[in-house]
Structure 1
Amino acid sequence: MPFTLVSEVRFEEDIKKSRFEAIAATVENEQDVKDFLEHHKDLTTTHQCWAWKIGHHVRFNDDGEPSGTAGRPILATIEGNDLTNVIVLVNRWYGGIKLGTGGLVRAYGGCAGQCLMLAEKTELIEKKEVRFQCLFNEWAIFQYELKSQNIDYVEDYTADGVMIEAKLQVHQIDALAIKIQDVTRGREQLKVEEKTDD
């Protein structure tokens, strides 16, 4: 069963006068990755190397370090911890002493690994995107239901009522489908988006 992180976590260490800082966070999609990297862009660093894994998709970047000495070892720590939907960024401020390729692999992989050891992990529960609509006078009932179960949703008001898109854990789908049928007296159905892996 894959795991993901509960919250963002950081770890810093000095290795032969170079300062390394690892930042690990959850990401749901490539836009989250872009936002994370943009947010943590730091022009004072010598290198900003990173790796991420979302489902079966992985990417890594050595940012000018010798090929295979930074991004790949960071990715190895993500996969070694059975994590997904995670990005780890390791910043390096060069201190004047070359570490060599083996030293770099140990430094980047080690710093990322220490950071992930500090992180609180949670089992990644599969979520599905669902949609349904309701009348204005029914929306308060559904709003209460979604909030009480900590379900993320977006509502869109139309001329006829409210269109709701939500992300549900798989085990929540049946109960919400029944609730929609009850409240709307069978008029509306819960539509589950079937996602295909690209």
Structure 2
Amino acid sequence: MQTFRQLGQADQTIHKSRFIARANRCENERELALFLRQFASEHQTAGHLAYAFRMKTAEGIVARFSDAGEPAGTAGKPVMQMLDGQNYVNCCVAVIRYYGGINLGTGGLVRAYGGTAKMAMEQAGSIPFVEMVQLRISTTYKRVDELTREVQRLHGEVLDKQFDEAVHFLLKLPSDAAKQLQARF
């Protein structure tokens, strides 16, 4: 599995219709909704906002797409096929269309939406997907610096710290590293 390295964007005009695509990594449904809402608000006069996403959840991979009023299977579906075919997860690709007055036909729409999405995906690049988990660990005040350094070394993140007779951490770590860290602390 892989995910996007960075935000990717593409813009092209085909038979007077303008297609703008963005490819973005989204770690959860909240980030996904925010990404789509922001993209739509930047292009309020656009005729269509088609999208596709694949999200890894505890129940498995959730994959959905929307053709946004275009003929069925001509906008979101070609984008979804690219995400599926390259095994992307925690990713969303959205394509805005400003209608130019010329009908493209179903084949033309598939090529236009799919081609613009592909350009954005190429610009976003890919990295291997690393599944992250949240972990709660409590430790003594003496070991706080040691734990913090270890979390950084494992490419994790401290989400929250609470202090009382011990220090309680909420961490986000790669799933294989979480077991190692838990054994040490």
| CA deviation after TM superposition for structure 1 residue 60, in Å | 1.1
C-alpha deviations, 1:137-164, integer Å up to 9, x for none?
A: 4323212221233312212314333321
Separation of aligned partners in 1, 2:155 and 2:177: 11
Separation of aligned partners in 1, 2:8 and 2:98: 19
Correspondence for 2:36: 37
Q: How many residues align?
A: 179
Following TM superposition, where does structure 1 have runs of at least 4 consecutive aligned residues deviating by more than 4 angstroms?
A: none
**Any stretches of 5+ residues in structure 1 without a counterpart?**
181-198
Separation of aligned partners in 1, 2:51 and 2:11: 15
Correspondence for 1:186: none
Matched letter for residue 37 of structure 1: L
**Any stretches of 5+ residues in structure 2 without a counterpart?**
none
Matched letter for residue 52 of structure 1: F
Query: Aligned residues: percent identity?
Result: 32
What TM-score results when the alignment is normalised by the length of structure 1?
Answer: 0.82
Correspondence for 1:117: 122
1:21 aligns with 2:20: yes
1:66 aligns with 2:71: yes
C-alpha deviations, 1:81-138, integer Å up to 9, x for none?
A: 2211110000111111111122111111121122222332111123332211123343
CA contact (8 A) 2:28 2:55 kept: yes
Structure ID, larger Rg: 1
C-alpha deviations, 1:149-191, integer Å up to 9, x for none?
A: 33122123143333212222233234312431xxxxxxxxxxx
Matched letter for residue 28 of structure 2: N
| CA deviation after TM superposition for structure 1 residue 5, in Å | 0.7
| CA deviation after TM superposition for structure 1 residue 58, in Å | 0.9
Segment drifting more, 166-175 vs 106-115: 166-175
Instruction: Please provide the CA RMSD for this pair.
Output: 1.7
What TM-score results when the alignment is normalised by the length of structure 2?
Answer: 0.88
